[in-house]
Amino acid sequence: MTLARKPLVSTPEAQADWREWRVADWSGLSDPGARSFEVGEGDWPFRGFVLRWQDALRAYANVCPHRSHPLDTPVDEFFSADGALLRCGSHGALFVPESGECLIGPCAGRRLLALPSRIEGDAVFVKAPADLQTAIELVGSS
C-alpha cells in the first residue's frame, strides 16, 4: 500500500514536557498486532497504542480524529476484518497503519497522532504527554 501522506507528528516544542514511558514488551506483540496503554494521572490520563506492523514499531494516540473516541472497541481490537487497516470501532473509520491516515470514514483525510517510539532490549518505550487533552488538541488540527 502506498503512503498517501506522512504521519501527523507534533513539533519538538510541543513535546517539551512529554515523558518517555515503558508501555509494552516487543515479544508480547504479534505481527501484525497492537496493544493499548494509558499513562499519566488524573481524570483524563493519556491513552495510546503501540503497533507491530511488518516487524516495525509504530505508536499513535488512541484518539480518533472523528469524535476523539478510542479506536479499540472492544479493547485491543484495532484491525479491520482483513487485517490490512486499522479500524475505529465507534463509526468504522479505516486508517493506514504506516501513516495513520484515515482512508475511509467520517474523518477521511485526517490522521492519527504519531508518537515517538523505540525498542530497547525487549522493552517498548513511547514518548507521550501525561494528559489526554493535549492529544485531542493536536489531533483536532490534523
In the complex, which residues of this chain contact ligand FES (CB under 6 A)?
Answer: 64, 66-67, 69, 88, 90-91, 93, 105-106
Q: Which is nearer to ligand FES, 16 or 81 (CB)?
A: 81
Q: Whole-number minimum distance, CB 69 to ligand FES, in Å?
A: 4
Looking at the Cβ atoms of 28 and 92, the one nearer to ligand FES is: 92
As measured in angstroms, the least distance from the Cβ of 114 to ligand FES is 17
Instruction: Give me 101's grid cell.
Output: 491516515
Q: CA-CA distance, 123 to 121, in Å (whole number)? A: 6
Give whichever of 15 and 90 is closer to ligand FES, judged by the CB atom: 90
The nearer residue to ligand FES, 72 or 117, going by C-beta atoms, is 72
Least Å distance between CB 73 and ligand FES? 9
Instruction: Quote the least distance from Cβ 38 to ligand FES, whole Å.
Output: 18
Q: What is the 3-state secondary structure (H, E, C) of 73-128?
A: CCCCCCECCCCCCEECCCCCCEECCCCCEEEECCCCCCECEECCEEEECCEEEEEE
Closest by Cα among 2, 8, 38, 6 to 112: 8
**Are 83 and 77 within 8 A, CB to CB?**
no
